Amino acid sequence: MSAQLLLVECPDRRGLVHGVTGLLLRQGCNVISNHEFVDHETARFFMRTEFTGEADADQIRRDTLAMLPQPATVRLSSLAPRRVAVLCSREHHCLADLVVRHAFGEINAHILAVASNYADLGEFVGKFGLPFHAISHDDISRDEHEQRLLEAILPYDPEYLVLAKYMRILSPQFVNRFPSRIINIHHSFLPAFAGAKPYHQAFRRGVKIIGATAHFVTEGLDQGPIIVQEVLPVDHTHGPQDLAQAGREVEKLALARALKLVFEDRVFLCENRTVIFD
């Protein structure tokens, strides 16, 4: 009888915590921990309740949904490892960190496969016995490339896609197949330095801090809800290459923290923001 999660969001109303916890008690469940938040901007209520008990999970989900003001969303989670596909390009740092954490059971996920528009990282991925699909974008259209990507990854039926420095822009059609289920790591701080050669931009601007942002992918490039932001200090002795290395270090940290939060069902979306019960 391991713990389960009840994940609720709905319009705020008086008595929600009392109501949901009462429903669980009547089902013979025991609440282990509970987090709630009301976003005042949207008057929306969020709740993450960890509970144990032998009750019928689907019954709890339906009963909870029925008692909430609408529109509401209710999910039940057993915290089973997430089914994840990873996209990457040529940079190894985020992918390697993810694969090693996976190999030692440090993230709550099964990496099903890795796909890339370059073959470079195939050897590394292969060491860990994971399928690797090299799908070049040369000489084909973006649509065609995305089509081939989908053919490679859809058979694994992934819940989440992780873009571990995947350096191509995904079309809205592709993104919309995985709504709020694609996680990206972005060089430098959003919304600053959003274009090309960000570390050269950052160098010329003389920044004293390098950051990285892990976020959900939405149709707008690099505009999705932020999950984690991390920074490292830099100084005048750092040229563009050094800034890029600092960027790699901080990207690795930010993505790992974001995936931990998402894969433990700690992240809710609230408009273009995230509510995180950490």
| Catalytic annotation present for 222 | yes
Do 166 and 121 meet the contact criterion of CB atoms below 8 Å apart?
no
Nearer to a copy of itself, 117 or 274 (CB): 274
Say whether 126 sits in a helix, a strand or coil. helix
Check residue 118 for interaction with a copy of itself (CB under 8 A): no
DSSP H helices in 68-171:
93-103, 122-127, 142-153
264 binds a copy of itself (CB under 8 A): no
Instruction: Rule CB under 8 A: choose which of 191, 197, 220, 221 binds a copy of itself.
Output: 191
14 burial via Cβ count (<10 Å: 0-12, 13-18, 19+)? exposed
Binding residue (CB under 8 A) for a copy of itself from 1, 40, 54, 138: 40
Cis, bond preceding 191 (omega within 30 deg of 0): yes
DSSP secondary-structure letter at 53?
-
User: From the list 96, 134, 150, 167, which residue makes contact with a copy of itself (rule: CB under 8 A)?
Assistant: 96
Q: Which of 27, 171, 180, 229 binds a copy of itself (CB under 8 A)?
A: 229
The secondary structure element, H or E, covering residue 112 is strand 109-116
Judged by CB under 8 A, does residue 92 bind a copy of itself? yes
State in angstroms the smallest separation of the CB of 246 from a copy of itself. 11
The reply on whether position 209 binds a copy of itself by CB under 8 A is yes
Distance CA(58)–CA(64), nearest Å, equals: 10
- Give the nearest distance from C-beta 256 to a copy of itself in angstroms: 8
CB count in 10 Å sphere of residue 179: 11
Chain center to CA of 277: 14
Q: Which of 39, 159, 222, 264 binds a copy of itself (CB under 8 A)?
A: 39
Positions that interact with a copy of itself (CB under 8 A): 14-15, 17-18, 21-22, 25, 30-41, 92-93, 96-97, 100, 103-104, 124, 127-128, 189-193, 203-209, 211, 225-231, 235-237, 239, 270-276, 278
